[in-house]
Chains A and B, each alone.
Chain A
C-alpha cells in the first residue's frame, strides 16, 4: 500500500447519528408541549386565571383565560422543541430548552389556576424559603465534593444543626447562640465524616449514610429524653427576626421577597456568590479544585491534600449547620424527630442537578423549592393533580440529569476517592 491510497481513504466519513442530543431534546419538548396544549388545554376551565402581585387575592394581577393560556404556552413549548429539531445554531440550544420548560410550566399553571388566583409574592417568597436549606445544604456539598469528599451526610448535618439550634437557643434564650450551636452541630457530623473518610479511608457513601442514621438516632433519642418531657425548658427556641430594608422592600414582587426577610436568606445568597468567586479566583479555590480533580498532581506540587480536604469538609459542616438552623429558628419554632424529612437528600439532588457549582446549586434549589411550593398550593386549592407527584420532581429531575438525558453532569474526577500515597 502506498501513502497516496491512505490519503484517499481519509475521505471516508463515519456516519453520524441523526438523533444527536439536540434533536432528542427537541423531540422531548415537542412531546411535552403536545401534552400541555392538548391535555392541559382540554382539561382547563375557560375561566380567568389571576396571578396577583401580592400575598393574597387583592391588588394588581396578571390575568389570562386559563384554557387559552394553557394551549398558547403549550404551543410555544412545541415551537421551541421544533426549533431544536430543525437544527438551529448551538448557542440557541440552552435558551430554547429554557423557554420550552418555562412555557410548559406556565401552561400547567394556567390550567391549574383557571378560575382561581395564584399570589405571586407568596409563591416566590415561599419558594425561596423552601429553597433556603437546599441552597445551604447544596453549598456544603459543593465545598466537600469539589475537594473530593462525597457528602451524603447533609441530612445528618441538618438534623444536628436543627437540634443544636433548638436546644442551645432555648437554654440561652438567644437566637444567635442557637445559630452558633447549629454550626457546631453541623461541624460535629462533618468532623466525623472527614475523620472516618480521610483518616480511616472508609467508603464515603457508607460513612455518609451511617452518619445520617446516627444523627437521626441521637437527636431522636435526646428529643424523647429531654425535649418531649419538658418542651418549655429545652425546646422553645426564639425565632430569627425578619428585617425589612426600607425603600428596597417596596419594589413590587422582588421587594417583599428579597428585602423583607430573615438573615439566612441573605447569608445563603451571599455565600453562593462568595463560594463561586473563591473557587474560581483564589488560591484556596484553585487548590481545592486541583485536589478534587487530581490529588496526586496537587501533592507533587506540595499541596497538603488531606489537610485541605479536612478544612473543606469542616467548612461544609459550618454551612450545612446553618442550613439546619433554618428548620428550628425560621420555619418552625421547635425541634421534632426527623423533622428534616429528606431535605438533605433534596439538597444533594440540587448539588448534582446543579453540576457541583454554586450557581447551579442555587438554580436547582430554587427550582426544587418552587416545585414544593407549588405542590403545597395545589393541595391547598384541591387540585386533582396529586401533590406527591410534584414532590417527586426534584428526584426525577436528578435522575434525568445524571442519566445524561439533558446534558452530561460530571462530578469532580477524584470525588469519593480517598487519597493514599502510593
Chain B
C-alpha cells in the first residue's frame, strides 16, 4: 500500500509543499489527484465539490495541471505540437485540421504572460532539461489550470535554475493559482512554501509552516532524529589508484559529455563528485567501467591502462561498481537474490567454470552475504524484484564488495533507498575506504557527497571545475555546480 488515509487541503494562491522521503508516497498521491491512478477510498473535492477523476481528462477539466518528474513530452515533436497535444486548435469541423498558427500564437501568448520564454518551433529532443521544464509549465498553463502540481521539479536543475523556478512559482501563486510542490529538499521548501505537509510511508505525519527549522522538518520526514553526518575518521590517502587525464567521452547522441577531465583517486580516500545530474558524471563513470567508448585521454588503474578494456576485464582487475540506475543496471529482477549476488562472478571459481555452474557454492555465498549485509529477504531463492529498494541496493553493494578491491565506484549509492539502508550503505563505503580501497562516489545529493567525501570534485557541463575540501561553504559548491568559478583560487587536486 502506497498511501494510507492521507488528508491534504490546498488553498487558492498558496504554494503548498508536499515533503517526504523517496518512496513516501508523494507521487502516488498526486497521480491519484491527476487521474492517472484510482484511489481505493477517500474523495477529492475541488472548490468544495466532490469529483471523481477516472483519467487525466477529468482532472484537466477540473482545472488541475501537472508537471511530471519525468517530462511528458514527445521528443520528436516541436514545442508547439507538444503544448497543443490534447487541446488542439482545429479548423474544418470533424476533419480536425490543425490550426498551427493559432496553436503557435497561444504558446507565445502564455509564454509572454507568465515570463516563461520558449521557442515554439524547437524540437523537444534538442532542448536542455531546463527549457523542457518550462515547456511543461507552459503546457499546463495554456489549459487554464487553477492548481498546478510540480513533481520533484528541481531534481534536474542547477541551483540557479532552481531559484528561477521558485520565482516563477511565486508569481504564479500571486496571480491566484494554487501550487503543489513535491520535493524532498528541505532548503527549497523553506524558501518558497506557504504551508508544508509532510508524509511518511503513505501517511500524513504533520503540517508545518516555513518557520519550522530544517532539523524539525527532517525529523518529521524520516520519523526520528537523523544525523545527516556520516561518522568517519580522517582519511589516510596512500598511492594513486585511479588516474584519469584529458578524458573525452561522448553521450548517446554524440555530444561531448565528458570534456577533458583530469582526476585522481588515492587508496584509502573517498573522492566525491558533486554536480547536477546530467553534467557528465554518468558518462565519466561508464567510461571508466568500459561501458562507453573513450574518444581521447587516459584512464589508468595503478599501472594498467583501462582504455579499450571490456567491462568484464575492468571488474576482474579489482574494481567494484554500483551503477546509478539500480533497477535497470544493477540487478536482474527476475533472478533470485543468490543469482544476483554472483551476477558478475558466475563463471569464476568457486561459483562456476567455463562450462558449468556450481549451485552449491552460489547458495553458500548467498547465505553469507544476506547475513553480512543484513539483506531482508525471506529466502535467497526469491526474486530480487520482490525486495524493497533499499534491500535491492544492499544486494548490489554486497555483490560488489565481496571480492578484493582496489577501486570502488558508487553512483547515486542511496537513491530511492530508505534511511536505515542509507546509513548502512554509507557505513560500508567508509569501511571499504578504511580498508585501503580507493573510493569514487558520484551523487547529485550534495549532502551525501559532503558527508562521505574526503575531497569533492565539482562537475559542470562535462568538466571538473574544481576539486575542493568538504569543509568548503555549501554556497560556494552550489555556485560551482552552476558553473560559476568566480575569482577564488580553486584547490589543487595534486
Contacts and interface: CB of A to CB of B under 8 A. Distances in A.
A82 B30 CA distance: 60
A296 interface: yes
Contacts of A284: 96
Contact of B76 (A1, A293, A421): A293
Q: Interface residue tally of chain B, by bracket?
A: 35 or more
Contacts of B134: none
B470 interface: no
Interface in A266-297: 281-287, 289-290, 293-294, 296-297
A293 B295 contact: no
Interface in B33-82: 34, 36-37, 55-57, 60, 66, 68, 72-77, 81-82
B259 interface: yes
Contacts of B259: 9-10
Contacts of A12: 246, 248, 260, 296-297
A341 interface: no
Contacts of A294: 72-75
Contacts, number: 108
A298 interface: yes
B163 interface: no
Interface in A291-344: 293-294, 296-304
Interface in A71-124: none
Given A6-B260, A282-B98, A300-B56, A14 B295 contact: yes
Centre residue among A1, A14, A293 by max chain B CB count within 10 A:
A1
A283 B493 CA distance: 57
B228 interface: no
Contacts of A282: 90, 95-98
B310 interface: no
B263 to A, nearest CB: 9
B248 A14 contact: yes
B464 A1 contact: yes
B84 A286 contact: yes
B131 interface: no
Given A1-B464, A12-B296, A300 B74 contact: no
A388 to B, nearest CB: 39
Interface string B354-393: 0000000000000000000000000000000000000000
Q: Interface residue tally of chain A, by bracket?
A: 20 to 34
B56 A283 contact: no
Contacts of A287: 85-86
B177 interface: no
Interface string A3-28: 10010011010110000000000000
A296 to B, nearest CB: 6
A10 B260 contact: yes
Contacts of A293: 74-77
Nearest to B256: A14
A297 B260 CA distance: 37
A16 to B, nearest CB: 9
A301 B467 CA distance: 44
B210 to A, nearest CB: 30
B305 interface: no
Given A1-B467, A282-B98, A302 B246 contact: no
B36 A300 contact: yes
Nearest to B494: A1
B175 interface: no
Contacts of B37: 421
B490 interface: yes
B77 A290 contact: yes
B188 interface: no
A290 B74 contact: yes
Contacts of A10: 259-260
Contacts of A9: 246, 259-260
B88 A283 contact: yes
A301 B81 CA distance: 12
Nearest to A305: B55
A9 B256 CA distance: 13
A199 B72 CA distance: 24
B231 to A, nearest CB: 31
Given A283-B96, A300-B68, A302-B56, A1 B262 contact: yes
Contact of A300 (B34, B81, B246, B490): B34
Nearest to A2: B490
Nearest to B457: A1
A297 B36 contact: no
Contact of A302 (B57, B73, B84, B250): B57
Interface string B256-267: 100110100000
A169 B139 CA distance: 52
Contacts of B81: 286
Contacts of A422: 36
A61 to B, nearest CB: 47
A117 B352 CA distance: 69
Contact of A281 (B74, B98, B246): B98
Interface in B244-260: 246, 248, 250, 256, 259-260
Centre residue among A6, A15, A293, A297 by max chain B CB count within 10 A:
A297
Contacts of A1: 262, 464, 466-467, 490, 492-493
A298 B246 contact: no
Contacts of A14: 248, 250, 256, 295-296
A218 to B, nearest CB: 36
Contacts of B97: 281-283
Contacts of A15: 295-296
Interface in B466-494: 466-467, 485, 489-490, 492-493
Centre residue among A281, A294, A301, A303 by max chain B CB count within 10 A:
A301
A306 to B, nearest CB: 11
A365 B325 CA distance: 43
A296 B31 CA distance: 12
A286 B98 contact: yes
Centre residue among A289, A302, A421 by max chain B CB count within 10 A:
A302
Nearest to A292: B74
Given A286-B84, A287-B85, A301 B72 contact: yes
Contacts of A298: 74, 85-86
B167 interface: no
Contact of A286 (B72, B85, B262, B296): B85
A303 B82 CA distance: 13
Contacts of B127: none
A294 B81 CA distance: 13
B237 to A, nearest CB: 17
A421 B36 contact: yes
Interface in B295-343: 295-297
A413 B86 CA distance: 19
Contacts of B75: 293-294, 413
A156 B37 CA distance: 37
A14 B250 CA distance: 10
Centre residue among A9, A293, A303 by max chain B CB count within 10 A:
A9
11 contacts: A1-B262, A1-B464, A2-B489, A6-B260, A283-B98, A290-B74, A294-B74, A297-B85, A300-B36, A301-B56, A301-B86
Given A1-B493, A289-B76, A303-B85, 18 more contacts: A1-B464, A1-B492, A6-B463, A10-B259, A281-B97, A281-B98, A282-B98, A286-B81, A286-B85, A286-B88, A290-B77, A294-B74, A297-B72, A298-B86, A300-B72, A301-B86, A302-B86, A302-B87
Which 10 A-B pairs rank lowest in CB-CB distance, beginning with the nearest? A301-B86, A9-B260, A14-B295, A283-B96, A302-B57, A297-B72, A300-B72, A294-B74, A283-B88, A293-B74
